[in-house]
Each structure stands twice: as structure tokens, then as C-alpha cells.
């Protein structure tokens, strides 16, 4: 016993050794807790295919690079593990990528999968808690109140604005006629779609204040790049780290700049709304039909709902306006640009689209109506095929609020799983679309559509949280495309293989949309071919 006591006295720890042992003990405790929290996820992960992840950072290092490189890696991942489902560790979080349409349906329609994932918190710098990012309780309330603003009757009232803004686009494009050097379609299409959504949804005309639109557009693209970088960089997950990064890179004012135009519109419309009340002028709810068409816009609807007790806060209104502006302009602009570029690459398909347009309008200049859009069947196929190849929002993230079973497999995904719907993977799945990388509008002829699963095409998402503005988008894009192609033919030196993609928050062409235009020969193809 005396020898044991003497041995213990001989053990002396230096301060550095003591700190080292404490650090090891602390690490072991943290590691055990980390493994305990992840036990349900790891139990499922061991049974699934997918890339390996490192502790805490997951597979994040696999996605370091430029937006173009990140997009290439996502495509390779989908190709390697398609049709899934397959696992991926997103930072410390367990994710499962879903591709098969039956699995997509089981997730998007599940009441336990309505919550947008924690990664949407990283884009609240842009969208706040609008419909895109709102937690379930707020989303349910706002969706119910806002949905009536997108009924067919109200959408038909937008057509005078659609026609007016697209005629301005045609006029602006005249400066590109006869040039052999390609120009970027984006420079013309993006301002047009932004102006459209501002006037149709907010009652605000940007024609004479284009500098505000340009400032908003530039801030939007930069903000998207910054938030996209944050999503794939675990070291920027903490707010103070992200703010420090913004300060060091000189981007501290990007998000404030983004909000300038929305706040300006809201204030002007609120003042006008208040003025009508003070003067006891009739509101948009009790005017004649002609007056109602002029006054009824989305922003007025929000003010009216507040009058009726909806209790939208100032931040709520700002968030819904920003969400509407970006969702209604950026997505449409990208799709129109891709569609026109694809038609330039495929002149035979462009001719077929024009022949359909000619059947409706011949060589006249009458404006397009709602009834006309229903006849543009092949043009709609072109737009859908564009969205199949290049879905503007290629990934959807949902956080499971309870265990969810995947239909095509025996896997039960545990509560807390990050469910990643790969729209790009679904749209490029060869069992659904033969030669999936080929541009083929016939993929959307009625017979082919009927033969596929309903969730084989999810460009506008699906289920209860599907895109509220899908009808607006299709109508506005049909008007823009048909007006453009009635006046100009579009050409390019690009091939389909030349299109390189990049991903910020949205899927874009890395090198823009380079084309040239010529004045349209308004004769149908069969007559032109006879002359030849």
C-alpha cells in the first residue's frame, strides 16, 4: 500500500499535459454526443449508396469550386447514383437525394415534408419569410390569402401589360438587326420580365426608372452568388462568420441595395392606398369592372387583406413582394433566354414554332389574347422541354418532420432528414426521357405525357407547396416568345454542347445567351421552301 501511494505522488502533470487531457476528454464527449444524435441517420446511411462524408463537414469539400464547377459535380453525382435514392452528408446533416417520380410524389405530397429545409434560412437575406422560405404555419396562412390573386380571371387582365412591354422589347431589339456580332439575350429579356412583374403585381412602371431595375438585377445576381456560396460552405453557416466574410469582401451593402426598389414600390403604393381612403374614394373592391382592372394588383391585395384583419407586418409585405419580384422575373427571364437560344441552335424546330404562330396570326400585327395562348400548343411543348433540360430551380430541399417511407425502396427516412428533390436528375432520367440530353419538344406531346408518371416533370415543384405563379409564368412566356418570333428569327453559332451551366440559387448559362437576329420573313415555312 505504501508503494502505491508513493507511485501516485510521483505522477506529476504539467499544465500543458493537463490541458491536453482535458481537450481529449472534451472531444470524446462531443464526439459521443455527435454520434448519438446521428445514430438514426447513420443506421439508414449504411444501407444506402452515395458519396462518403467526413465528420462535421460531410461532403462539402466535394463541392468547392466556381458555380460552373459545382454544377458539373452535381450532374456527375446524379449520373453516378441515378435513379437513387442515394445519401449525401450536407455538412453535419444527413441528406437523401430523390430522383424517381414516385419517390418525388411521396415526399412532395407528404404532410410531414412541407417544411423547407434549414438551408433555406441562408437565403432569407434575400427572400425573408415569403412563400418560398416561410415556416409551415406562416406559409399556410399566406398561401391561403394570396392564392386568389392568381386566378384565371385576374391573370387575363394582365394581357394589355404583357403586350405593351413585349412591344417595347421588340422596339429595343431593333438596334441588334443586321449585326454579325452576337449579343446576350439576357440584356434585353431580364429588364422586360422585371418590368412586367412590377407593373402586373405591384402596379409600378419601371419604363422611366430603369436605373432602379438595373440596380435591383445586379444586386439580385450578386446576392444569389453569396447565399449559394454560404450553402455549400459549412464555415459560413454561423451568421457572424458570414457577416465577417461579406465585410472582408466588400459586399456588406448588397442586400440593402436589393431591397431599395421593393421598399420604394411598397411605400408609393401604400401612400396611394392611404390617400384613397382619406379622400373616401372607392377601393378596388367596390369599383366598376373597368376601374377594377386598372386597380387590382397583388400589392393592393395585400393592403386590402390587412384592412380586413390579415395582420401582415411590414416585413411580411416586403418579403412577399421580393419573393414575387424574383420568382416572377428571374425564372421567366432565364427560361425565355434558354428557349430562344435552343431555337437558334435548332432552326427546324424554330420554323415549326413559327408555323404554329402563323396559323393563328398569319402576317398581321394584332395583339395576342388569352384565347390565342391556348392554341400555342407546340410553343408550350418547347417551353416545357426547355424547363426539362434546364430547370431554373434544379434542387428542392425539405426537412422531414417525421419518419417518411420512400415508395420505390424499403428505406424509411428518419425525422430530421434533409430530403433533396433533384429536379435536374428527374428530368434527365433516361427511363423517362430517351436521349435525355437532346432537345426534343415531342417529349411533351399528349401521348408521351400520358405515358409518364405525373411527377416526371416538376419544373414548378409539386404538391401543396408547388409554385403559386406557374400559370402566370406560362402565359407571360408564351406572349414573350410568340411576340419575339413573329418579328425576328434568332440565330447562333452555339451548339447544345457549348452551353455550360452554373448554379447560384438558380440554374443559368455560364456564358450568357449569345445570338444574332434577323427580321422575320412572315411567310410560313412551306411557302418559303417553295420559293427556294
- Omega of the bond leading into 119 within 30 degrees of 0 (cis): no
**CA quadruple 500, 502, 441, 349: dihedral positive or negative?**
negative
DSSP conformation letters of 208-260: T-HHHHHHHHHHHHHHHHHHHHHHT-GGG-SHHHHHHHHHHHT-TTHHHHHHH
22, 239, 411, 418 from 122: Cα distances, Å: 35, 9, 29, 15
Backbone dihedral region of 435: left (phi > 0), alpha (psi from -120 to 50 degrees) or beta? left
Query: How deeply is 8 buried, as exposed, middle or buried, from its count of CB atoms within 10 A (0-12, 13-18, 19+)?
Result: exposed
| DSSP letter assigned to residue 513 | -
CB atoms closer than 10 angstroms to residue 511 = 14
135, 136, 314 from 129: Cα distances, Å: 8, 10, 12
CB atoms closer than 10 angstroms to residue 458 = 25
467 is in an annotated binding site: yes
Of 290, 312, 291, 315, give the one whose Cα is nearest residue 301: 312
Name, in order, each residue with C-beta under 8 angstroms of 304's C-beta and a sequence gap of 6 or more: 283, 284, 285
Element (H, E) at 33: helix 15-37
CB atoms closer than 10 angstroms to residue 435 = 9
Element (H, E) at 385: helix 377-389
Report the binding-site residues for heme: 467
Report the binding-site residues: 467
Amino acid at each position: 500500500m505504501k508503494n502505491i501511494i508513493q507511485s501516485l505522488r510521483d505522477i506529476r502533470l504539467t499544465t500543458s499535459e493537463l490541458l491536453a487531457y482535458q481537450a481529449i476528454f472534451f472531444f470524446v464527449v462531443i464526439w459521443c454526443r455527435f454520434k448519438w444524435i446521428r445514430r438514426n441517420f447513420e443506421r439508414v446511411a449504411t444501407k444506402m449508396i452515395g458519396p462518403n462524408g467526413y465528420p462535421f463537414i460531410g461532403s462539402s469539400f466535394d463541392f468547392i469550386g466556381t458555380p460552373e464547377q459545382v454544377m458539373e459535380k452535381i450532374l456527375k453525382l446524379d449520373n453516378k447514383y441515378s435513379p437513387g435514392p442515394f445519401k449525401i452528408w450536407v455538412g453535419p446533416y444527413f441528406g437523401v437525394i430523390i430522383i424517381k417520380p414516385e419517390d418525388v410524389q411521396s415526399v412532395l405530397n407528404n404532410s410531414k415534408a412541407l417544411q423547407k429545409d434549414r438551408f433555406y434560412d441562408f437565403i432569407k437575406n434575400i427572400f425573408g419569410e415569403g412563400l418560398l422560405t416561410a415556416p409551415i404555419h406562416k406559409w399556410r396562412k399566406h398561401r391561403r390569402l394570396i392564392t386568389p390573386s392568381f386566378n384565371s380571371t385576374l391573370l387575363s387582365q394582365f394581357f394589355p401589360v404583357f403586350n405593351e412591354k413585349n412591344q417595347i422589347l421588340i422596339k429595343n431589339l431593333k438596334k441588334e438587326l443586321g449585326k454579325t456580332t452576337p449579343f446576350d439575350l439576357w440584356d434585353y429579356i431580364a429588364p422586360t420580365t422585371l418590368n412586367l412583374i412590377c407593373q402586373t403585381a405591384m402596379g409600378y412602371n419601371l419604363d422611366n426608372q430603369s436605373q432602379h431595375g438595373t440596380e435591383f438585377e445586379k444586386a439580385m445576381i450578386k446576392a444569389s452568388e453569396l447565399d449559394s456560396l454560404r450553402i455549400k460552405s459549412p464555415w459560413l453557416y454561423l451568421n457572424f462568420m458570414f457577416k465577417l466574410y461579406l465585410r472582408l469582401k466588400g459586399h456588406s451593402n448588397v442586400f440593402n441595395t436589393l431591397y431599395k426598389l421593393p421598399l420604394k414600390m411598397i411605400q408609393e403604393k401604400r401612400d396611394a392606398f392611404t390617400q384613397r381612403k382619406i379622400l373616401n374614394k372607392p377601393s378596388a373592391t367596390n369599383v366598376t369592372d373597368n376601374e377594377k382592372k386598372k386597380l387590382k394588383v397583388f400589392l393592393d391585395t395585400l393592403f386590402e387583406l390587412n384592412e380586413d384583419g390579415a395582420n401582415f407586418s411590414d416585413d411580411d409585405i416586403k418579403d412577399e413582394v421580393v419573393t414575387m419580384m424574383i420568382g416572377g422575373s428571374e425564372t421567366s427571364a432565364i427560361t425565355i433566354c434558354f428557349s430562344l437560344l435552343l431555337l437558334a441552335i435548332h432552326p427546324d424546330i424554330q420554323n415549326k414554332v413559327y408555323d404554329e404562330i402563323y396559323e393563328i396570326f398569319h402576317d398581321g400585327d394584332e395583339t395576342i389574347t388569352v384565347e390565342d395562348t391556348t392554341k400555342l400548343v407546340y410553343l408550350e411543348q418547347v417551353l416545357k422541354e426547355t424547363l426539362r433540360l434546364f430547370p431554373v430551380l434544379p434542387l428542392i430541399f425539405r426537412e422531414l418532420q417525421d419518419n417518411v417511407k420512400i415508395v420505390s425502396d424499403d428505406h424509411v427516412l428518419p425525422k430530421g432528414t434533409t430530403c433533396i428533390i433533384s429536379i435536374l436528375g428527374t428530368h434527365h432520367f433516361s427511363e423517362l426521357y430517351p436521349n435525355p440530353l437532346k432537345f426534343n419538344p415531342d417529349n411533351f406531346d399528349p401521348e408521351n405525357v400520358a405515358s409518364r408518371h405525373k411527377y416526371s416533370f416538376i419544373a414548378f415543384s409539386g404538391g401543396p407547396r408547388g409554385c403559386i405563379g406557374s400559370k402566370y409564368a406560362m402565359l407571360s412566356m408564351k406572349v414573350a416568345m410568340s411576340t419575339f418570333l413573329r418579328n425576328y428569327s434568332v440565330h447562333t453559332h452555339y451548339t447544345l454542347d457549348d452551353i455550360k451551366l452554373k448554379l447560384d440559387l438558380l440554374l443559368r448559362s455560364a456564358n450568357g445567351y449569345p445570338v444574332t437576329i434577323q427580321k422575320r420573313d412572315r411567310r410560313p415555312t412551306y411557302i418559303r421552301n417553295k420559293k427556294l
